[in-house]
Amino acid sequence: PIHLEYLRNMGVGATLTVSLVRAGRLWGLIACHHRVPRHASHEVRSACELLGRLASSLLAIKEESEDLEYKQKLKAVHLKLVEFMTGSDDLVSGLVQHSPNLLDLAAAEGAAAAIYLEGQWTLIGNVPSVDHIAALAHWLGAQPAFEVFSTSSLPSIYPPAEAFKDVASGLLAVSIPKSARNYVLWFRPEVVQTIRWAGNPEKSVRADDGGSRLHPRTSFELWKQIVHNKSRPWKGSELEAARELRKAIIELDLQRQFRAEQRARAAAEAATQARDHVLAVVTHDLKNPLNVFRLGLELLTSTTAELPAAAQSVAASVLPRMDSASRRMSGLIDDVLILAKIETGEHALESRDVQARDLLFDAHEMLEPLAAAKAITLRVEGGAQGGAVRCDRERVMQVFSNLLGNAIKFTPRGGEVTVRFERGRDEAIFAVRDTGPGMPAADLPHVFDRFWQARKTARQGAGLGLAIAKGLVEAHGGRIWVESTEGLGSTFFFSLPRDSVG
């Protein structure tokens, strides 16, 4: 009844409507009107239905043909973009610095794009400001996860887009799963549309005696509606092209990462070979001549009594310094060789059960003369606790030697150094505490780095002792750490796993 009233209001006495259907959906109508009643015969209606089906088929063929042609064009653009990305130093350059470029994948006319990869935005075409794009990307990140996102009316779902609707009323976005903020974005500007209606499309409701009923309009004068905040819609083939580009970017990025890892592995192998060569030089070309030098130095020292008095005075001054320097050099060579073996896994452990108290007292006995020479008290705590630790005794003593040696070195005369053992719930813990100057918090993360030294140590040693201690402890499956307060001293801890404790 509403439709019939609508037709009467228009002055129509007869109507015939033919539906145009595409892919099962209404695409449009052919409407025929007469001012006076007119009956259409069955043959006429059948003929109109046939014409409607024919028009629908031709419509489908035409749209599919146009769509196929457009898909082929986008496919050609896609292949060129993949070629450019493959041949460029970075993926972004391949997308924007050639022709065709990223814009051609989504109809370049009136479109623009932005890419966020590797920590920065790359812009092409007339786009919103970087701040606006960054805020939009943040908003996209809060949406449900997506591969492809599209809208032809961005301001209606993202109100801040009203500020840049003239360049970005439409948005097509693909997410690149390198991080939460990596996107390729296409923008389309606002297309102001004028829709012409046969009368105001607003429906009116009039109260009748029986209640309220909707009535169609009675005026059919031309009525214009201006539509804002909308862009040209995105086609399905454009969405598919964006999805294919996303897949290509991900695949190429993975390939580049793989090649980078291969290059890094090759560089690491070359560095290992170079290191092995250096170690061979250290072992044969430095160690052996140094041993010859030390033998000659010992011989020269033993014969100084036969030298003239003036020469004896010079020898007494020079030879001890030469001996000290040669010993330091020999120790440094030994440390480098040990550290290299630890890092390559060639430092085999000969583990057996050792009493924890024996390790403490052996460490005390080994370092006590050095402590006594500086009037430093060297204490042992926790030695009465029983229990065997399965370890390589010689290597653990080397750890104690490095830790206690450093503690004695940096503790002032008259100070105190304590070595302690305690059984933890999950591990056996050894500690070396000193009353030295301590270290600032900023230094603590670096103390076990190779060749690292705090500035105020005046370069005492080569900075390898703690790195070696760390490597030996970790070779046992344990851990090593330090606690320190400036002015109050430092405590170095190392542990062995619980299953190493008898």
What does the pLDDT look like over 93-129, one tens digit per residue?
888 888 888 888 877 556 677 788 767 888 888 889 9
Predicted confidence (pLDDT) at residue 440 exceeds the cutoff of 60: yes
DSSP string, 139-153: HHHTSPP-SEEEES-
Angle at alpha carbon of residue 195, lines to 191 and 199, rounded to 5°:
160
> Per this entry, what is the length of the chain?
502
Q: What are the tens digits of pLDDT across the range 461-499?
A: 446 788 888 988 988 888 999 999 888 899 999 988 765
Query: Does the model's pTM come out above 0.85?
Result: no
Beta-bridge partner residues of 183:
116, 175
Predicted confidence (pLDDT) at residue 134 exceeds the cutoff of 80: yes
Q: Tell me the three state secondary structure of residue 380.
A: strand
Helix (H) or strand (E) holding 391: strand 388-391
Distance separating alpha carbons of residues 127 and 136, to the nearest angstrom: 12
Dihedral of CA 337/339/343/346: which sign? Answer: positive
What pLDDT sits at residue 346?
63
% of the chain at pLDDT higher than 70: 85
User: What are the φ/ψ torsions at residue 280 (nearest 5 degrees)?
Assistant: -65, -40
Closest CA to 101 of 223, 184, 22: 184
DSSP string, 286-316: IIHHHHHHHHHHHHHHHTGGGS-HHHHHHHH
Distance separating alpha carbons of residues 161 and 154, to the nearest angstrom: 6
Distance separating alpha carbons of residues 140 and 114, to the nearest angstrom: 14
- Determine contact, residues 362/397, Cβ cutoff 8 Å: yes
Which CA distances in Å does 52 have to 22, 24, 45, 297? 11, 14, 10, 112
Strands 377-381 and 416-423: parallel
Distance separating alpha carbons of residues 220 and 92, to the nearest angstrom: 55
Amino acid identity for residue 351 in this structure: S
What pLDDT sits at residue 455?
52
What pLDDT sits at residue 502?
47
Q: What are the tens digits of pLDDT across the range 65-93?
A: 988 888 999 999 999 999 998 888 778 88
- Determine contact, residues 416/435, Cβ cutoff 8 Å: yes
Name, in order, each residue with C-beta under 8 angstroms of 292's C-beta and a sequence gap of 6 or more: none
Distance separating alpha carbons of residues 283 and 476, to the nearest angstrom: 26
Angle at alpha carbon of residue 111, lines to 105 and 114, rounded to 5°:
80
Distance separating alpha carbons of residues 230 and 477, to the nearest angstrom: 64
Q: How far, rounded to the nearest angstrom, does the alpha carbon of residue 182 sit from its chain's CA centroid?
A: 11
Closest CA to 174 of 148, 144, 146: 148
Q: How far, rounded to the nearest angstrom, does the alpha carbon of residue 301 sit from its chain's CA centroid?
A: 62
% of the chain at pLDDT higher than 90: 30
Strands across the sheet containing 377-381? 377-381, 416-423, 427-434, 489-497, 479-485
